[in-house]
A = this chain, B = another copy of it.
Amino acid sequence: MSKWFVLWFTWLSWAWKTTIANNLYNLLKNKWYLNIEYLDWDEIRNKINKDLWYTKKDREENLNRLSYIIKLLSRNNIWVIATFISPYIISRDNLRKNSTNFIEIYINTPLEICEQRDVKWLYKKARNNEIKNFTWISEIYEEPINPEIEIKTQDKTIEESTNIIYNYLKNNNYL
């Protein structure tokens, strides 16, 4: 039996958190047959967080609720992959405290690359003040101090980035 874990992807929009997470999810689900759930901001926002916005208080409440859902899944032996900007160190540390084997994955892609990938023009809208509370443009992001994994995606393929995490899991006896 593999050790239970939560893989937490953090950093900006368009860093490729979701892309890499999806790729890894398929690998763990189809090759390793893990009972694994993928929690993504869009779905969570639509289903349980419709009342929350992007203020600091609401972002924290978002992660509090997430923390409960992760606990619910973990006590039923469901592994978790989650992709959330999660800009505050304290929130990520709280999640870590409330989870077993919390693996923080810092998808450290430079801002200009994130902006180039942004086909929805969210950064542009944020710079024009059409979107408020946008992380890094109008809100802070506190970088991970000691993440288990850091990936600089600008010089890597999705496949290579996925493999970094996969190898970490293998080498640390999670798989």
A residues with a Cβ closer than 8 A to B are 35, 37, 47-48, 50-51, 61, 64-65, 68-69, 72-73, 75-78
Q: List 18 A-B contacts (CB under 8 A).
A: A35-B76, A37-B72, A37-B75, A37-B76, A47-B64, A47-B68, A48-B65, A48-B68, A48-B69, A50-B61, A51-B51, A51-B61, A69-B69, A69-B72, A72-B73, A76-B76, A76-B78, A78-B78
Of A50, A65, A75, most buried by chain B (CB within 10 Å of CB) is A65
The smallest C-beta distance from A86 to any residue of chain B, in angstroms, reads 17
Within 8 Å CB of A75, what residues of B? 37
Q: Are B65 and A47 in contact (CB under 8 A)?
A: yes
Report how far A37 CA is from B73 CA in the complex, Å.
10
Q: Are A48 and B51 in contact (CB under 8 A)?
A: no
Report how far A76 CA is from B72 CA in the complex, Å.
12
The smallest C-beta distance from A29 to any residue of chain B, in angstroms, reads 11
